[in-house]
Amino acid sequence: MTRFSKIIKQREFRTFIFLILLFVVVGFINTDYLSLQNIDKSLKSSLIYIVLTVGMTFVLLTGNLDISIGGTLGLSAAVCGTILRDGGNIFLAVLAAIGIGAFIGLINGFGLIKLKISSFIMTLALLSITRVVQVIYTDGKWVENIPANVKELSKIDIFGVNLLSIIVIVGVIFAQVYLSKNSKGRYYTAIGDNVDGAISLGIPVKRYIAYSFVISGICASLAGLIFVSQIGFVSTNAGVGIELTVIAACVLGGVSLAGGIGTVVGAALGAIILTSINSALVFMKVPAFWNDTISGALLIIIVVIDALLAFNANKKAKKVRLNARVLQKEA
Amino acid sequence: MQAPKNLVRLENIRKSFNRNTVLEGVSLELNESEVISIIGGNGAGKSTLMKILTGIYKPEGGIIEINGEKADHLNPFAAHERGIYLVPQEPLLFPNMTVEQNLTIGFRKDKKEVKEESIKLIKELGWNIDLKRIAATLSIAEQQQLEIIRGLLRKSKVLILDEPTSTLTFSETEALFKVIEQLKNAGVGIFYITHRLDEVFQISTHVVILRDGKVTLKGKIAEFTKEMLIQGLLPAENEDHHQETFERRKSNHEGEKPILKVDNIVGDGFKNISFDVYKGEVVGLAGLVGAGRTEIAEAIYGINPIQSGKVYLDGKDITKLSINETVDSGLAYIPEDRFLNGIFSITSVRNNITSQMMKRSGFFIKKKLEEQVAHQYIDRLRIKVNSQEDEIKSLSGGNQQKAVIARALSVNPKIIIMDEPTRGIDAAARGDIYSIITELKNQGFSILLISSDLEEIERISDRIFAVYQGTCKVCLNLDEINAVNVMKASFGTFEGGDRAHD
Amino acid sequence: MLNKIPKWNLTLFILIVVEMIVFGMMNPRFWNVTILLNSFNDFVAIAIIGFFVTLVVITGGIDISGVSIIGLTSVITGLLSQVVGINIWVSIICAILVGGLCGFLNGVLIAYGRVQAMIITLGGMLLYSGIAIVLVGVSDVSTYEGISGFSEGFSWIANGEVMGIPNAVILFIIMFIIAYILLHRTKYGRYIYLTGINQNTAEYSGIDTKKIITSTYVLSGLSAGIAGVVLTSYLGSARSDYGAEYLMPILTVVVLGGTLITGGKGGVVGTALASIILGFMQIGLQMAGVSTQYIGLATGGLLIVSVAFLGINPDFRFNVKRIITQKQNNGG
């Protein structure tokens, strides 16, 4: 096994090791940080991000970008919040969320495939639009007075572990298995990895790009539902700017914006790291205002190292290839 | 003896692109356990023919039969279904996936089944590929092996190998040949596209030579010698398309100082290259695609580093200079891949022409001057445009190339390196470019012409250096330049002057 | 093709006229020149950054870190002048230079480190706003109130006027002219276009594309620094969270202005017109009694339509035809 393949393999492990390291170091300074209670809490506070990164990973794998997720989250939270407030069934809320997410995802896919707009602009536009739709829907008001039993939902524990966390973890594992083991699931990675290769093997590229946006939309609106249940109210700027944090989490977890590289698990770990830094600072008695500086610096450093490694590997490969052509026998 | 089973029969295949005929009635047959080498120069129609067979292009006429059945509406998927698989020169793998994932993707049946089949196949072939490796870490040879396995997994009975050895090392090539032997024994039919004559004799059972879209020679390999193959590759006599003859000078540059002197340079893709170019001379750099000519040119121009050796331009050492400094010293380069490196597609012809000369103007753009320069070159090189504002993308290939030449001329160079200047250009524009070259020569410019077009390089060059697998050992003077010698030198079989044909 | 961009600019100009007519009919106060000119204060920061992000986008990159540089320079201006006690004008220059430095870091990592611009400037966005927050935190200034107590002279920068024309308008014009001349009248500007159209060809032509790319990020950082100072002056206090909501508007003005997101085509005239459209829309909606939150609907719609439709995507008509016929087929 060459060194290069090891580096690639380590992408998720590296993220994981970093996360462990974070806990160990912080735990060394303040042992409370390692308590099960805190780990459970860290996980809980990163649930929304984890769900979002799962959807985002699908889109990123195909080599696209979805920045409409913040808007989808807000709209879905507002709609689900109203349904629940007005005494609606939780299953109705889930259905509504899935419907909203799928619809927004379809519009994104339509713009990309049929109108040939770049994913960045298309989802940026939809972000603006969904925000307004949310305002129109809620008439600019907050959705409050959500029944206590909804908030209780996010607090149910099974064997001492939060039920919602269990569902999300199962979801992540399911998505991971689908992407890496299912023969169709591998199409997403394949498309981002080498579009020409994917076409030549008869993979329906456009359809799977549309699917990725639908999945991302559904994940975002489910995250909206979690938002309602965890926070208990929906403001008009729920989830503003969250898309950038989610992209940062994915990149931190080893997902490439160029497509073809990354795993859902890695992205989820990235999400946990970003939210854990926050609580770690509290435990280390470092003022919380260091949070963004650390996250930003971390992101830049990791990405630059990755890029340099990849560049050098490419250069080396090209060199080897060129020199293979040179006549070996010396006259 | 029992007649071998017929796998592919092509009859009278015709194909043209934009009135440019590429195939003029090609007929071929491939039977079980045959390895047919297809040889031919650039533009002979080899890859077009294979793309027709794999359903990427539709033929304009002729019959395709696969396993004795007529195959009319072939597309890539149908071709796979019928057992035809093309192993492209640059394998289309998913670089970030493992070998196993690369093999199992795209199948409707169970992955485990495919995996087991792959393991069995790899074992049968005696290869040593770790299924867990990432495809990006594979050597090109291994990537090709992977493509071959992909083909075999699809129960392919016909494999097409497109210049598989062009990027392989010697030992990798040997390994590949063993595989071909095994496949042959297992009944697979193989089309083997190559430039290397040695290989043809080493592995093929039959040979076919294509030239200008026609089969000029075919038959069992045992019936041929290398000399005969080279004859078959040569243009037919009395078949001159270009009536004008080029005024050429015999090299007699004693005492003169060369404009460009390349002294024993070594870099990625070439080694120990030496040649020189004198004032007012067209020097050809002949050789096959992938021989290393473009790499040499790019190294001289300053794009890629030169590891050792020296390059002098008019006596000045330019070995380590950047592109910018090289241009300032008086060297211009017209790149091989026009679309990738030659043009600024979505801007005007004027901006394309002036993009290099404007470095000599000050901070601000001088629009008047630009217009004037663009006008001058559009006239001088007869570039067909409606206005200078036309997007260069909207021009024909020939006119695009002329604009690129105009850009090179605008910096007033001492020598211009032209890398495949007539590639993908129609006949009329080709003639124009030849006369531009002649004109430039008469005005005292020196030109280093890189071309895979035998006729072109043979007719225009005053002297020819041949590059063969990254080395340059042969220099042909004017009286030695003829098609046979150039061809031999390109294939690495030139052993001294052969003037009998002149 | 060059004549195609002015056509788009004309469309944008017509849009402004339509806006003025429509909003004026809804509320005649909109036709008051003073009010219109004063409205520049609300979007001059977006426009200033937009001009130079246009240069970045033409090279084929993107810069989303400007929104954080605004906050950072605002805080630095406040800290240097009010807490450290340096002369306000020196503080301003230092702050703007810090903005340029942030841009330089972005540019170097993108051009020489070969990382996607999107990721680096995303990281930069977190980092620079993080530094701003840290500076505020470390210096024990109230995050919510910010640093205030600036001199009148400083307040004049954004709130003053020269010969009846608000400084915001003058600033808008000055920055526009600088960007316009740089991009459309100099060799440097031409190199920006050439780099964006085809970086390979530009390299082969002897253009140092990495330097060009880096420099556009420096300019974008400097412009964000200026925007930060202007905003601080306008609002009278230095805060780290200034500009946080400007990300979408900045990108919208650039793209709506007709600059190709893949690089190589566009210009600052379009960006200027688009920023006026956006700014007038905001004030027009306010006057019409409509919540400004609705502005996103218009900008989002404009964004999709503009990118898909007029001239920027020549395939569009063909695509529309195909979609329509497809739908008919499906329906039939």
pLDDT mean over C50-57:
96
Q: What is the dihedral of CA A202, A207, A210, A211, to 10 degrees?
A: -90
Q: Are residues B222 and B340 in the same domain?
A: no
Å between B54 CA and nearest CA of chain A:
11
Give the domains, in start order, of chain A with CATH numbers.
3-317 (1.10.3470)
Architecture of the CATH domain C4-331: Orthogonal Bundle (1.10)
Confidence of residue C218 (pLDDT cuts 50, 70, 90): very high
Query: Whose structure tokens read 């991302």?
Result: A216
- B241 domain residue, yes or no: no
Asked if A292 lies within 8 A of C293 by C-beta distance, the reply is no
Please give, rounded to a whole number of angstroms, the shortest distance from the CA of C50 to a CA of chain A: 16
Q: Checking phi first, is residue B87 left (phi over 0); if not, alpha (psi -120 to 50) or beta?
A: beta
Tokens of A26: 């912080």
Contact: A131, C296; criterion CB under 8 Å: yes
- How far is residue B175's CA from residue B158's CA, in Å, rounded to a whole number? 20
Distance CA B136, CA C159 (A): 59
Partners of chain A (3+ Cβ pairs below 8 A): B, C
User: Does the structure show a pLDDT above 60 at C84?
Assistant: yes
Per-residue pLDDT of chain B (502 residues; tens, 9 = 90+): 456 788 888 888 888 776 567 788 888 889 888 999 998 766 678 888 888 888 878 888 888 888 888 887 777 777 887 888 888 877 788 888 888 888 888 777 777 888 888 888 787 777 777 888 888 777 777 787 888 888 878 878 898 988 877 666 666 777 788 888 888 888 889 999 887 777 888 889 999 988 878 888 888 888 888 888 877 777 655 444 444 566 666 656 767 888 999 999 998 888 889 999 998 899 999 887 778 888 999 999 998 899 999 999 988 899 889 998 999 899 999 998 888 888 998 889 999 999 988 888 788 888 889 999 999 999 988 888 888 888 888 887 888 999 999 999 998 899 999 998 887 777 677 888 888 998 898 888 999 999 877 778 888 898 999 998 888 888 888 888 888 888 888 888 877 654 434 3
Q: Which range is least confidently modeled, B66-75, B180-189, C70-79, C106-115?
A: B66-75
Is B351 within a domain? yes
B463-468 β-sheet, strand order: B331-334, B415-419, B446-450, B282-287, B463-468, B471-476
| Chain B residues with beta carbon closer than 8 angstroms to that of A320 | 139
DSSP class of B340: I
Shortest CA distance from C132: residue in chain A: A293
C 70-109 residues inside an 8 A Cβ radius of A? 109
B-to-C residue pairs, Cβ atoms closer than 8 angstroms: 82
Which residue, A246, A68, A292, is CA-closest to C71?
A292
Is there a contact between B105 and A1 if contact means CB atoms under 8 Å apart?
no
The closest of A145, A153, A131 to A233, measured between CA atoms, is A145
pLDDT of residue C320: 45
Q: Among all residues of chain A, which has the CA nearest to that of B172? A: A324
Give the integer Cα–Cα distance in Å for A325 and B428.
35
Q: Which residues of A touch B89 (CB under 8 A)?
A: none
With an 8 Å Cβ cutoff, the interface of chain B facing chain C consists of 301, 303, 322-324, 326-327, 333, 335, 340-348, 351, 355-356, 358-359, 361-365, 389, 391, 407
- In this structure, are residues C151 and C236 in contact, taking their beta carbons and an 8 Å threshold? no
* Helix and strand counts by DSSP (H, E) for chain C: 15, 2
Residue A263: which residues within 8 A CB-CB, separation 6 or more? A11, A12, A57, A176, A179, A180, A253, A254, A255
Q: Quick count: other Cβ atoms within 10 Å of Cβ A145?
A: 12
Please state the ipTM of this predicted complex: 0.83
Give the C-alpha separation, B349 to B353, whole Å: 6
Q: What is the torsional sign of CA B136, B137, B143, B145?
A: negative
Q: What pLDDT score does B431 carry? A: 83
> What kind and span of H or E run contains B379?
helix B367-380
**Sorting pLDDT into bands at 50, 70 and 90, what band is C311?**
very low
pLDDT at B240: 47
Position A99 scores a pLDDT of 93
Q: Are residues B380 and B462 in the same domain?
A: yes
The domains of chain C are located at 4-331
Yes or no, beta carbons of B137 and A196 under 8 Å apart: no
- What's the 3-state SS for B414-462? CEEEEECCCCCCCHHHHHHHHHHHHHHHHCCCEEEEECCCHHHHHHHCC
Pick from B268, B291, B473: which is nearest to A319 by CB? B268
Segment C64-69 shows an average pLDDT of 92
Residue B247 placed within a domain: no
Q: Which tokens belong to B482?
A: 């003829």
Q: How do residues C2-49 score in pLDDT, each as one tens digit?
A: 445 567 888 888 889 998 898 888 888 888 888 888 888 889 999 999
Are the Cβ atoms of C127 and A131 closer than 8 angstroms?
Answer: no
Write down the pLDDT at residue C274: 93
Quick one: pLDDT at residue B446? 92
Neighbours of chain B (3+ CB pairs under 8 A): A, C
CA distance B346 to chain C (A): 7
- Asked if B356 and B454 sit in the same domain, the reply is yes
Best of B51, B85, B92 to substitute, by most chain A Cβ atoms within 10 angstroms, is B92
**Maximum average pLDDT range among B193-207, C270-284, C287-301:** C270-284
The reported pLDDT for the residue numbered B228 is 83
Residues of chain A with pLDDT under 50: 1-3, 7, 330-331
Q: Is residue B70 part of a domain?
A: yes
Phi, psi values for residue B37, rounded to 5°: -85, 130
Chains contacting C (3 or more CB pairs within 8 Å): A, B
Tokens of C284: 């027009």
Question: What pLDDT shows up at residue A61?
Answer: 93
Place of tokens 């093997």: A201
Shared domain check, B272 and B166: no
Is residue B37, in this structure, part of any structural domain at all?
yes
Q: Residue B284: which domain range?
A: 260-490
Number of structural domains in chain B: 2
B74 in a structural domain: yes
Does C313 have pLDDT greater than 60? Answer: no
Q: In the predicted model, what is the mean pLDDT of residues C152-170? A: 86
| B184 and B277 both lie in a single domain | no
Q: Which residues contact B283 (CB under 8 A, 6 or more apart)?
A: B275, B277, B446, B447, B448, B449, B461, B462, B463, B464, B465
- The answer to whether B348 contacts C186, with C-beta atoms less than 8 Å apart, is no
> Do B319 and B217 share a domain, yes or no?
no
C208 chain-B contacts, CB cut-off 8 A: 324
Contact of B245 with B74, CB cutoff 8 Å: no
In a domain, B314, yes or no: yes
CA distance C129 to chain A (A): 7
B328 and B476 belong to one structural domain: yes
**Residues B95, A260: C-beta atoms closer than 8 Å:** yes
Could you tell me if B222 and B304 lie in one domain?
no
Nearest-angstrom CA–CA distance, A255 and C14: 44
pLDDT of residue C291: 72
- Alpha-carbon span B465 to B473, nearest angstrom: 8
C-beta atoms of C291 and A140 within 8 A: yes
Banded model confidence at residue C328, pLDDT cuts 50, 70, 90: very low
Considering only CB atoms, C204 lies closest to which of B335, B359, B364, namely: B335
**B229 and B264 co-located in one domain:** no
A2–B290 C-beta distance less than 8 A: no
Residue of B303, B324, B351 lying closest to C208 (CB–CB): B324
3-state secondary structure of B146: helix
Mean pLDDT, all residues of chain C: 85
Of the pLDDT bands very low, low, confident and very high (cuts 50, 70, 90), residue C52 is very high
pLDDT at B244: 52
Chain C: residue whose CA lies nearest to B359: C187
Domain assignment present for residue B173? The answer is: yes
The domain boundary, picked from B233, B268, B295, lies at: B233
B122 in the same domain as B195: yes
Contacts B405 to C, Cβ<8 Å: none
Closest-approach residue (CA) in chain A for B290: A325
Cα–Cα distances in Å, from C318 out to A119, B464, C322? Answer: 20, 50, 6
Higher pLDDT among residues C95 and B143, named by residue = C95
Percent of chain C at pLDDT above 70?
Answer: 90
What is the token pair recorded at C292? 């400004």
Q: Determine contact: C315 vs chain B, CB below 8 A.
A: no
pLDDT score for C2: 45
Measured between CA atoms, the residue of chain B closest to residue C205 is: B356
Of B101, B136, B271, the CB nearest to A186: B101
Tell me how far apart the alpha carbons of residues B278 and B255 are, in angstroms, rounded to a whole number: 11
The pTM score is: 0.83
Identify the residue among C187, C191, C205, C312 best suited for mutation to test binding to B, counting B beta carbons within 10 A and taking the highest: C205
Token match 């459309």: residue? C184
Quick check: C236 contacting A, CB < 8 Å?
A: no
Report in angstroms the alpha-carbon separations of A308 from A314, C2, C107, C164, C315. 10, 38, 15, 54, 37
pLDDT of B88: 80
The confidence score (pLDDT) of residue B237 equals 53
Chain B CB contacts of A190 below 8 Å? 94, 97, 105
For residue B424, what is the domain's CATH number?
A: 3.40.50.300
| Cβ–Cβ below 8 Å for B96 and A193 | yes
| Chain B CB contacts of A322 below 8 Å | 268-269, 292, 295
Q: What pLDDT score does C332 carry? A: 30
The per-residue pLDDT for B502 is 37
